[in-house]
Amino acid sequence: MHAFDILGDPVRRRILELLATGEHSSGDVVAVVQREFGITQSAVSQQLRILRDAGFASVRAEGTRRIYAVEPARLREVDDWLDRFRAFWLPRLDAIATEVARGKRKRRQQE
According to the model, what pLDDT value does residue 96 have? 83
What is the domain partition of the chain in residue ranges?
A: 3-70, 72-110
> Across the 111 residues of the chain, what is the mean pLDDT of every consecutive 10-residue run?
88 97 96 96 97 96 96 89 80 79 87 81
CATH of domain 3-70: 1.10.10.10
CA dihedral sign, ordered 80, 73, 6, 55: positive
User: What region, left, alpha or beta, does residue 37 occupy, with left being phi > 0 and alpha being psi -120 to 50 degrees?
Assistant: alpha
∠ CA 77-20-30 to the nearest 5 degrees?
115
The pTM assigned to this predicted structure is 0.76
According to the model, what pLDDT value does residue 1 have? 64
